[in-house]
């Protein structure tokens, strides 16, 4: 009996020194110091505005924040600058943990290789950050992050929060153009199975929350108030309207635009429309491209000029830049400029625009384009590609903007916003009125984290 007990104890010694001693070492932090959260973005941090808003919100509410995501050296400097004003002590409050951003082949083998590389890299990061009380993950992507996080709860006892921006399986189906493909079915099973084990869920729309409850059977935990919380995107404080007379001065403050002498000299000639995009398959820029000919003919008759600004970057950018260049060389009344701006300059370029465009069509039908909220924050009426959730939870048609379903409607409604200046200004006034009477990001965030989920004290 004694020998058996001794053998068991000796067998457990490696586990004791490798797992329990380090965890015990971190318990004082977990229980007696400020709360600590890991925020994970499998993708470029700089192009994840909602997650950046989460970082700031947790910082100002006293959390220590460990950020995991992708960023190059210049982007990391911009991010550190962005959050420097919210740090009480840089050594204690915020750390960035940069993960691999290497591109892989777009084949199935390339995707598998990418997943395996991320899996091993995330394991090391999780061990390093095991003292976190909470982990907030952006979904999608779900693989390999979601299963790995759920299984890691066994060892690290952290609480998992999923911020459902969309569903990974629906985006994969769009990529493969086949929702019955084996990869899509496997992805769907993993996403729905492991998603149920998270402690808290955030959704970007009421419609998404309903789907999680009714179709995915994720139930609100009766011992917590609102385990699933709708956290609508709202404009953050850096997005605010300015007087149109300030437009030239703002343009001069944006290096990429200030270099355009023609724009500065002829600023009052243009009506400025803006769209931001990640140049991915769920942004139908082809529709915008195909609307250009008809729109140019209408502008020719009206003697109006449109400056279309397209911001952002992503996998299809070079392809679309070439397409637009080839198209617009024959258009006399439409000028198209592509920009990729520093994070602090993006609100400024919205402020100098007259209205916004969203070409996002949802792979799931239950998410919303956050870019529209940023545009609203700067007082811009918006045109958005139509799907039911846009009308139900985002744009008041004819009041704060409008929707379109095809390139004919798109060209017509862009033209109307250009020539019907009085109507456009009425819409802008409605957007600003809603802005004054509605929530900003932090208000919406506190309703979820302090109210529904009861995580922030």
Which residue ranges form the domains of the chain, and what is each CATH number? Answer: 25-234+442-452 (3.40.50.2000), 244-435 (3.40.50.2000)
Q: What is the mean pLDDT of the chain?
A: 86
Phi, psi of 139, deg, nearest 5: -125, 130
- On whether the CB atoms of residues 376 and 434 are closer than 8 A, the answer is yes
Q: How far is 433 from 400, CA to CA, in rounded Å?
A: 10
Alpha-carbon distance of 333 to 345, in angstroms, equals 26
pLDDT number for residue 172: 86
Q: Above 60 in pLDDT, residue 21?
A: no
Q: Give the Cα separation of 395 and 372 in Å (integer).
A: 9
Sort 89 into a burial class: Cβ within 10 Å, 0-12 / 13-18 / 19+. exposed
Q: What percent of the chain has pLDDT over 70?
A: 88
The answer, yes or no, to whether residue 395 has pLDDT greater than 90, is yes
Strand partners, 139: 164
Inform me whether the pLDDT recorded for 66 exceeds 90: yes
Burial class (CB in 10 A: 0-12, 13-18, 19+), 58: buried
Model pTM score: 0.88
Predicted pLDDT at 331: 86
Instruction: Determine the average pLDDT of the residues in 323-342.
Output: 86
Q: What is the pLDDT of residue 193?
A: 92
Average the pLDDT over each of 9-18, 284-293, 316-325, 351-360 and give the range with the smallest value: 9-18
Higher model confidence: residue 54 or residue 245? Answer: 54
Q: Give the pairing type, strands 228-230 and 305-311.
A: unpaired
Residue 159 backbone phi and psi in degrees, to 5:
-95, 135
Q: pLDDT tens digit string along 136-159?
A: 999 999 988 999 999 998 888 899
pLDDT tops 80 at residue 208 = yes
Least confident of 217-226, 246-255, 283-292, 346-355: 217-226
DSSP for 237-303 reads: TT-----GGGHHHHHHTSHHHHT-HHHHHTGGGEEEEEEE---STTB-HHHHHHHHHHHHHHHHHHT
d(CA 41, CA 141): 9
More confident call, 15 vs 435: 435
> Which carries the bigger pLDDT value, residue 113 or residue 312?
312
d(CA 8, CA 310): 65
Which pLDDT belongs to residue 188? 92
pLDDT attached to residue 222: 47
Angle CA 171–177–178, to nearest 5: 95
Least confidently predicted of 175-184, 229-238, 402-411: 175-184
Whether 244 shows a pLDDT value over 90: the answer reads no
């Amino acid at each position: 009996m004694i020998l058996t007990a001794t053998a068991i104890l000796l067998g457990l010694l490696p586990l004791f020194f490798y797992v329990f001693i380090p965890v015990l070492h971190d318990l004082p932090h977990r229980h007696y110091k400020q709360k600590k959260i890991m925020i994970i973005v499998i993708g470029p941090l700089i192009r994840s505005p909602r997650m950046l808003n989460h970082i700031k919100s947790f910082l100002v509410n006293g959390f220590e924040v460990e950020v995991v995501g992708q960023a190059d050296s210049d982007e990391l400097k911009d991010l550190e600058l962005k959050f420097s004003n919210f740090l009480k002590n840089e050594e204690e409050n915020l750390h960035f943990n940069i993960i691999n951003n290497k591109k892989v082949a777009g084949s199935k083998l390339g995707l598998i290789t990418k997943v395996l590389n991320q899996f091993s890299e995330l394991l090391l990061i999780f061990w390093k950050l095991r003292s976190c009380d909470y982990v907030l993950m952006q979904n999608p992507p779900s693989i390999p992050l979601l299963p790995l996080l759920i299984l890691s709860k066994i060892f690290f006892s952290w609480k998992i929060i999923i911020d459902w921006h969309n569903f990974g399986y629906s985006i994969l189906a769009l990529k493969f153009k086949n929702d019955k493909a084996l990869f899509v079915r496997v992805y769907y099973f993993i996403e729905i199975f492991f998603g149920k084990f998270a402690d808290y869920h955030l959704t970007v729309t009421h419609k998404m929350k309903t789907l999680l409850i009714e179709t995915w059977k994720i139930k609100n935990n009766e011992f917590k108030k609102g385990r699933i919380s709708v956290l609508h995107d709202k404009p953050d404080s850096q997005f605010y309207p300015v007087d149109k007379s300030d437009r030239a001065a703002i343009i001069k403050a944006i290096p990429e635009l200030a270099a355009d002498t023609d724009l500065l000299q002829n600023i009052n000639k243009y009506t400025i429309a803006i769209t931001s995009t990640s140049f991915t398959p769920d942004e139908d820029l082809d529709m915008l491209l195909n609307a250009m000919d008809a729109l140019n003919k209408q502008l020719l008759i009206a003697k109006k000029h449109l400056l279309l600004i397209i911001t952002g970057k992503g996998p299809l950018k070079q392809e679309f830049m070439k397409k637009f260049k080839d198209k617009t060389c024959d258009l006399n009344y439409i000028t198209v400029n592509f920009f990729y701006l520093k994070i602090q300059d993006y609100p400024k370029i919205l402020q100098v625009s007259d209205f916004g465009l969203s070409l996002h069509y949802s792979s799931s039908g239950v998410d919303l384009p956050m870019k529209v909220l940023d545009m609203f924050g700067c007082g811009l009426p918006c045109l958005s590609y139509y799907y039911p959730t846009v009308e139900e939870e985002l744009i008041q048609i004819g009041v704060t903007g409008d929707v379109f379903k095809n390139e004919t409607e798109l060209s017509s409604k862009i033209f109307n916003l250009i020539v019907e200046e009085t109507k456009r200004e009425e819409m802008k006034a409605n957007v600003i009125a809603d802005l004054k009477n509605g929530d900003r990001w932090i208000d919406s965030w506190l309703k979820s984290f302090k109210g529904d989920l009861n995580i922030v004290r």
